[in-house]
C-alpha cells in the first residue's frame, strides 16, 4: 500500500524481550481514526485488559503523530502519548511539543507502542529502521537536561527524544514525559509509567521525507494558513506571538475564572504583577515547535533576587497560575525557577501547584500539623516554599513530599480527617486554572473530560475567546452543545496533533483540516469536514467507553465539594453557582448517552464502535 502523508508503519517495542516489530498501518484503521489521538485510543481499547495496574508491565504507552506531521502545514507536528494513568486509573492522553514528533515521522513511524518492562534502566535508540535497546544506567538518576546531553553524545547530536527525570524514576504519580527541548506531556503521570518500565528515554533520528498526494493543493492550503497567521493585526496571533499564553493570565483573573488560594477565590491584588506589560520585561528570546511560525514559547530571565542568573523557557499560563495564583505567590522569579525544576525533574506543573495549594490550605485549617510537614511552615505566598516543595515532591523527600507525590486525591485519602474537602481534582486529576462557577461551558467540559480535570481536551473558545462567536459565560442554556462541539473538534484536531492553542483561536478547525488532510493523503473521505467531525465524536465516545469499562461512569462527572456547594465569592462572578445537574442532563442528552452518562448501543453502532 502506498502512503501519502503517513509513514505507514507502527513500531511495537517489547522491553521484556528487547525485541521490536514493525507493523503496517492499515487502511481501515486510518479511515476510522486518522492518526495521533485516534490511533492511541483505539490501540489501548483493543490491547489493554481491564483493571490492570497502570504501573505494571501490562500497561502500554502509545506515542503517535499525525498525517500532517513533518509536512509544511504549520502547527501540526506535536505528538501525543496515551496510557492508563497511574494517577487516575483511567485513560489518559497527554500532548507534547518540540521536535520529537517530526523526528519520529522522519524515522518512518506514525506510532510507537511500548510494552512490558525492562530488567534494568534502558533507553531505546531509533535511527530509521535500526532500533536498539541500550543501557541507561549512566543517565538513570539524572535530570532531563543532563540526560539529553549525554544521550545525544551516545547517539547523534541532532537526535530528538522523550525522557523522564528523577520524578518519573521514583514513580511520582504526577510526573511528566519531557522532550529534549523542555516540552512536556505532563498530565496523568506518564512519567511514572515510563519509570515503571525502567524506560529512561526514547531517542530518535530520522532521514525520510513524507510523500504528499497533491503538493500544489497542500501548498495552497499552507499559504492561506501562513497568510492568516501574518495578517491578523492585533489579537491572535500578534498578541499571542509576543507573549504566548501569558497574554491571558491577567485578563483571566479580571474575568473571574482564575482560581486563587486553592480555589477559595480570595482577592489577589498581586495579579497586577502579571500584566502583559510586566511579563514582557522578562523576555529575552523566543522558541517554538517544529513547523510552527508562532514561536509562542519565550525565554524568561531572572536578574534579581536569590534566583538571579536563571534563564529558562517561560512558565505557561497554567504554570504561572499553579505556582502563582493558586498558592498566592506573586514572586515571578520563583515561578520561573519552579517551572524550570519541573522541566528538569519531569513534573506536571498543574498537578504540582494544586498539590502545594492543597497542602497549604490543610495547614492553614490545622488539618495537618508541622510534624506532618517535616517542620515546614506552609504559608500562602511563600516563594521559597513553592520552590522547595517542587523539589521534595519530585524526589519524594520527607513525609510531605512523598504524600503529595501521590496526587491530591490519594494524599487526601491517606490523611483523612476531612482532607478530601480541600482536594481539588476530578476523577483524580488535579484541576486546571478555570473556576467552573465563572464559566459554565468550560466547567461542564472539565467535568466530563475523559482524562479527568483537563481544560485542554475541552477548551470552550466560545466563552473564553469569543471564537467563532461570543457567548455569555454565566449562562447555562446551549452550553452542552458548545461543549460537545469543542470536545469533538479537539479530538479530531489531535489526530493531526495540531497545536491546541491555534485550534483554540479558531485559526485551525475541521474545515481547514479537511482541506489539508485530503491534499496530503488523497483519501476521499477526508474531503468532507463532516466526516472529520464524526471521527472526533468517535474518538470521544471510545475514550468514554474505555473509562466506563474501568468502572468510571457518570457518577464521577462531578466537582469538588467547594465548587458545588459554595457560591463564587469574588467579582465579577460573585454569587454564581455551578448548575451541575442541569448541565449534565443537557450534556448527556446532546451526546445521546443514557442517564448514567453511558454511550448507548445505538450511538456506538452509529459511530462504528459496537
Partner 1 sequence: MKICVRFVGWPASLFGKSYVWLFFENSPIILRKLLEKLELETGIKINLKDPNLVVLINGKLAEFIGGLNATLKDMDEVIITSISGGG
CB 226 within 8 A of CB 293: yes
380 binds partner 1 (CB under 8 A): no
Residues between 414 and 433 with contacts to partner 1, criterion CB under 8 A: 432-433
- Interface residue with partner 1 among 26, 27, 365, 470 (CB under 8 A) is 470
Distance CA 441, CA 106 (A): 39
Q: Cα–Cα distance between 291 and 272 in angstroms, integer? A: 34
- The least distance separating partner 1 from the CB of residue 238, rounded to whole angstroms, comes to 6
- Under rule CB under 8 A, residue 145 binds partner 1: no
Give the binding range for partner 1 (CB under 8 A) out of 62-70, 104-112, 170-178, 253-261: 253-261
| 290 neighbors 101 (Cβ within 8 angstroms) | yes
d(CA 429, CA 446): 10
> At a CB cut-off of 8 Å and minimum separation 6, what does 131 contact?
11, 13, 20, 124, 125
C-alpha cell at 439: 464559566
Count CB neighbours of 114 within 10 A: 23
**406 vs 489, beta carbon nearer partner 1:** 489
If binding is defined by CB under 8 A, does position 505 make contact with partner 1?
yes
* Binding region for partner 1 (CB under 8 A) out of 89-97, 145-153, 251-259, 577-585: 251-259
Part in contact with partner 1 (CB under 8 A); list of ranges 92-100, 109-117, 377-385, 500-508: 500-508
CA dihedral 361, 364, 367, 371 (to 10 degrees): 110
The answer to whether 189 touches 87, Cβ cutoff 8 Å, is: yes
Q: How many CB atoms lie within 10 A of CB 257?
A: 25
Q: Max Cα separation, the chain?
A: 68
Residue 351 CB, nearest distance to partner 1 (Å)?
A: 14
273 touches partner 1 by CB under 8 A: no
Q: Is 317 in the site for partner 1 (CB under 8 A)?
A: yes
Within 10 angstroms of residue 370's Cβ, the number of other Cβ atoms is: 11
Q: Which of 147, 249, 265, 541 binds partner 1 (CB under 8 A)?
A: 249
Among 115, 316, 406, 488, binds partner 1 (CB under 8 A): 316
**Nearer to partner 1 by C-beta: 4 or 232?**
232
Q: Residue 266 Cβ, how far from partner 1 at the closest point, in Å? A: 15
User: Which residue stretch of 88-96, 106-114, 247-255, 336-344 sits at the interface with partner 1 (rule: CB under 8 A)?
Assistant: 247-255
Binds partner 1 (CB under 8 A): choice among 188, 248, 353, 522: 248
378-382, Cβ contacts within 8 angstroms, sequence gap of 24 or more: 380/261, 380/327, 380/328, 380/329, 381/270, 381/327, 381/328, 381/329, 381/330, 382/327, 382/329
DSSP code, position 120:
S
Query: Considering the complex, what minimum distance in angstroms separates the CB of residue 460 from partner 1?
Result: 10
Measured from the CB atom, is 373 or 483 closer to partner 1?
A: 483
Strand partners, 599: 593
3-state per-residue secondary structure call for 467-532: CCCCCCCCCCCCHHHHHHHHHHHHHHHHHHCCCHHHHHCCCCCHHHHHHHHHHHHCCHHHHCHHHH
Q: Looking at beta carbons only, is 251 or 311 nearer to partner 1?
A: 251
Among 61, 81, 367, 501, binds partner 1 (CB under 8 A): 501
Residue among 53, 472, 477, 528 that touches partner 1 (CB under 8 A): 472
Among 239, 364, 420, 566, binds partner 1 (CB under 8 A): 239
Q: Which of 45, 232, 312, 556 binds partner 1 (CB under 8 A)?
A: 232
465 binds partner 1 (CB under 8 A): yes
Phi and psi, residue 215, nearest 5°: -60, -40
Where does this chain bind partner 1 (CB under 8 A)? 232-236, 238-240, 243-252, 254-256, 275-277, 316-319, 321, 432-433, 455, 459, 464-467, 470, 472-474, 501, 504-505, 571-572
Amino acid at each position: 500500500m502506498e502512503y501519502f502523508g503517513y509513514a505507514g508503519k507502527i513500531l511495537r517495542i517489547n522491553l521484556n524481550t528487547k525485541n521490536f516489530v514493525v507493523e503496517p498501518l492499515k487502511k481501515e484503521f486510518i479511515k476510522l481514526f486518522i492518526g495521533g489521538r485516534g490511533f492511541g485510543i483505539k490501540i489501548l481499547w483493543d490491547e489493554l485488559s481491564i483493571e490492570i495496574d497502570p504501573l505494571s508491565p501490562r500497561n502500554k504507552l502509545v506515542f503517535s503523530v499525525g498525517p500532517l506531521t513533518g509536512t509544511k502545514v504549520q502547527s501540526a507536528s506535536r505528538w501525543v502519548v496515551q496510557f492508563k494513568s497511574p494517577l487516575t486509573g483511567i485513560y489518559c492522553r497527554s500532548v507534547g511539543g518540540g521536535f520529537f514528533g517530526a523526528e519520529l515521522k522522519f524515522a518512518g513511524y506514525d506510532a510507537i507502542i511500548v510494552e512490558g518492562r525492562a530488567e534494568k534502566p534502558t533507553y531505546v535508540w531509533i535511527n530509521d529502521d535500526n532500533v536498539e535497546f541500550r543501557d541507561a544506567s549512566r543517565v538513570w538518576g539524572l535530570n532531563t537536561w543532563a540526560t539529553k546531553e549525554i544521550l545525544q553524545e551516545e547517539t547523534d547530536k541532532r537526535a530528538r527524544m522523550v525522557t523522564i527525570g528523577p520524578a518519573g524514576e521514583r514513580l511520582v504519580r504526577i510526573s511528566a514525559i519531557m522532550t529534549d527541548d523542555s516540552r512536556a506531556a505532563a498530565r496523568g503521570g506518564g512519567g511514572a509509567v515510563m519509570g515503571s518500565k525502567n524506560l529512561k528515554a526514547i531517542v530518535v533520528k530520522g532521514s525520510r521525507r513524507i510523500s504528499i498526494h497533491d503538493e500544489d493543493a497542500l501548498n495552497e492550503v499552507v499559504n492561506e494558513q501562513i497568510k492568516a497567521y501574518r495578517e491578523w493585526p492585533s489579537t491572535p496571533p500578534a498578541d499571542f506571538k509576543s507573549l504566548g499564553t501569558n497574554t491571558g493570565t491577567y485578563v483571566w483573573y479580571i474575568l473571574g475564572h482564575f482560581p486563587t488560594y486553592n480555589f477559595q477565590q480570595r482577592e489577589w491584588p498581586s495579579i497586577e504583577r502579571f500584566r502583559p506589560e510586566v511579563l514582557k520585561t522578562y523576555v529575552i528570546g523566543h522558541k517554538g515547535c517544529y513547523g510552527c511560525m508562532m514561536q509562542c514559547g519565550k525565554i524568561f530571565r531572572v536578574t534579581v533576587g536569590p534566583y538571579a542568573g536563571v534563564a529558562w523557557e517561560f512558565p505557561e499560563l497554567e504554570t504561572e497560575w499553579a505556582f502563582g495564583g493558586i498558592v498566592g505567590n506573586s514572586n515571578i522569579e520563583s515561578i520561573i525557577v519552579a517551572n524550570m525544576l519541573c522541566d528538569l525533574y519531569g513534573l506536571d506543573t498543574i498537578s504540582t501547584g494544586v498539590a502545594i495549594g492543597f497542602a497549604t490550605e490543610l495547614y492553614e485549617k490545622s488539618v495537618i500539623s508541622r510534624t506532618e510537614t517535616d517542620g515546614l511552615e506552609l504559608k500562602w505566598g511563600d516563594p521559597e516554599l513553592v520552590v522547595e516543595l517542587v523539589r521534595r515532591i519530585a524526589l519524594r523527600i520527607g513525609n510531605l513530599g512523598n504524600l503529595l507525590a501521590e496526587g491530591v486525591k490519594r494524599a487526601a485519602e491517606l490523611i483523612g480527617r476531612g482532607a478530601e474537602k480541600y482536594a481539588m481534582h476530578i476523577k483524580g486529576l488535579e484541576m486546571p486554572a478555570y473556576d467552573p462557577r465563572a464559566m459554565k461551558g468550560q466547567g461542564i467540559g472539565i467535568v466530563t473530560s475523559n482524562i479527568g480535570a483537563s481544560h485542554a481536551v475541552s477548551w470552550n473558545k466560545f466563552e473564553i475567546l469569543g471564537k467563532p462567536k461570543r457567548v455569555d459565560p454565566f449562562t447555562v442554556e446551549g452550553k452542552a452543545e458548545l461543549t460537545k462541539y469543542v470536545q469533538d473538534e479537539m479530538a479530531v484536531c489531535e489526530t493531526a496533533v495540531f497545536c491546541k492553542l491555534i485550534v483554540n483561536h479558531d485559526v485551525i478547525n475541521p474545515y481547514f483540516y479537511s482541506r489539508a488532510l485530503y491534499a496530503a493523503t488523497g483519501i476521499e473521505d477526508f474531503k468532507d469536514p463532516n466526516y472529520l467531525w464524526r471521527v472526533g465524536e468517535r474518538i470521544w465516545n471510545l475514550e468514554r467507553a474505555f473509562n466506563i469499562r474501568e468502572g468510571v461512569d457518570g457518577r464521577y462527572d462531578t466537582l469538588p465539594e467547594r465548587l458545588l456547594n459554595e457560591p463564587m465569592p469574588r467579582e465579577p462572578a460573585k454569587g454564581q453557582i455551578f448548575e451541575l445537574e442541569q448541565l449534565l442532563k443537557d450534556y448527556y442528552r446532546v451526546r445521546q448517552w443514557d442517564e448514567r452518562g453511558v454511550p448507548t448501543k445505538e450511538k456506538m453502532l452509529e459511530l462504528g464502535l459496537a
